Amino acid sequence: MSQNLVELSVNGSIQVMWAWESDTLLHVLREVLGLTGTKNGCEAGHCGACTVWIDGIPRLACLTPVGSVVNSEITTVEGLGSWWQERHPSSHYHPIQRAFVESGAVQCGFCTPGMLMAAAALLRDVKFLTDQDILERLAGHLCRCTGYEQIVQAIRQAALTEVTEQ
């Protein structure tokens, strides 16, 4: 097996690197590109900590072969603020980032990047959120610290902020 030259679009920048065919997107983001915001919780699709957007859709980077995303736009938690700012130039942070801090939804923070990427996609896709929508989207995202209530509260708060800002 040999390495291949791979070109990825990550957070709006083109990145070129050598990668093994078996490398996952999670490995490349963290170990090659140094984007350690995306967490490695289980490396087996069970915890949600590695969630990134692939063409805007939340996906588990630990289950994604890097070769399958060469023609896609990848957004990690490091790019979420910029993604938001492109659409709302006066704000450097996505409302969900602020809401997580203000609601106490960040404790050890290990689950937070994956939660943020899942929640931001939900806020983008669903205009009027119910708690059921939130709980369904968070299924598959494990948090050992918060008991989830603060996370749900943060998403509710961000939904209100988004409606107010529009």
Residues in the site for ligand FES, rule: CB under 6 A? Answer: 40-43, 45-50, 60, 62, 107-111, 143-146
Distance CA(39)–CA(6), nearest Å, equals 22
**Shortest distance, CB of residue 106 to ligand FES, whole angstroms?**
6
Q: Which is nearer to ligand FES, 14 or 139 (CB)?
A: 139
Nearest approach, Cβ of residue 143 and ligand FES (Å): 3
In angstroms, the CA 137 to CA 104 distance is 19
Whose Cβ is closer to ligand FES: residue 40's or residue 97's?
Answer: 40
Find out whether 94 and 53 touch, Cβ atoms under 8 Å. no
Minimal distance in Å, beta carbon 108 to ligand FES?
A: 3
Rounded to an integer, what distance in angstroms lies between the CA atom of residue 71 and that of residue 68?
8
Q: How is residue 32 annotated by DSSP? A: I
What number of other Cβ atoms are within 10 A of residue 30's Cβ?
19
Q: Which is nearer to ligand FES, 10 or 143 (CB)?
A: 143
Q: Which is nearer to ligand FES, 11 or 40 (CB)?
A: 40
Query: Are the C-beta atoms of 100 and 106 separated by less than 8 Å?
Result: yes
Query: Least distance in Å: CB of 109 to ligand FES?
Result: 6
Specify the residue, 122 or 151, whose C-beta has the smaller distance to ligand FES.
Answer: 151
Q: Rounded to 10 degrees, what is the CA torsion of 132, 138, 144, 147?
A: -20
CB of 91 vs ligand FES, minimal distance in Å: 24
